[in-house]
Structure formats: C-alpha cells, structure tokens
Amino acid sequence: MEIWINPACSKCRSAISLLDAEGAEYTVRRYLEDVPSEDEIRAVLERLGLEPWDITRTQEAEAKELGLKEWARDAGTRDRWIVALAEHPRLIQRPIITADDGTALVARSEDAVREALAHDKA
C-alpha cells in the first residue's frame, strides 16, 4: 500500500497514525517532493474511478490563479486538468491511498482509511 501525503496536512497525519495503529505496511510518498507524473495521475484516477477535477483542491491559491473553477469538466479538458495536477501537485486532494489489490481512495476520513486497510488485506 502507498499513501500520498503532505506532512503539513492534519488529515494526512491522522491517516498515518491510524495506519500505524493498525500495524499496516505502507510506503509514504511525499507527493509535493516526489511529484507524480501525468501517467501516474492517470493511473491513480483510473484506480479511484474518478476524474481529475474530482481530486482537485479548487480553493488553493494556485487553483484560483489558474482559473480552475472556470475550466470545463469534460473529456475534452481531462488532459488539461491532469497536466495542471502534475505541474501543481499542491492541487491534488490528500491523502490518497493505493492498496495492493489495485483499488485506491481519497482517505480524508477514518472510515476511508479503514476501507483502504480492508482492501489491502483482501
């Protein structure tokens, strides 16, 4: 299992604490330092079953500078969103957990982290 985190994020720290409490084996990816490529973002989106705008933090200053709220959310602009996430990783929702069974989820709640743990043990 891998978890994409920003150590400054309280939800990321909570997720790590829960994973540790459950004795889970995982790899931490500090995605602001080890920035995911466009292909990695595409792969995670496929595993999540989401579109790039679904995992975009639109309240970030960078999102406002880019005018993301005005961008279309359709197949024609999907690649543009993915490029923006790769170029501005701070815009990616966190934490994202990818389980060994091929699933992934945005683990912003304790329940979501527990779901990831269940998938990882499957």
9 carries an active-site annotation = yes
CA gap 107, 78 in Å, rounded: 23
What is d(CA 62, CA 57) in angstroms, rounded to the nearest whole number? 9
**Catalytic-role residue among 2, 3, 8, 9:** 9
- Per-residue b or e along 33-49, where b marks 16 or more CB atoms closer than 10 Å to that residue's CB: eebbeeebbbebbebbe
- Side-chain-facing half-sphere of 67: CA atoms under 13 Å: 4
The tokens describing 4, both together, are: 């994409």
Q: How far is CA 3 from the centre of its chain?
A: 8
Positions marked active-site: 9
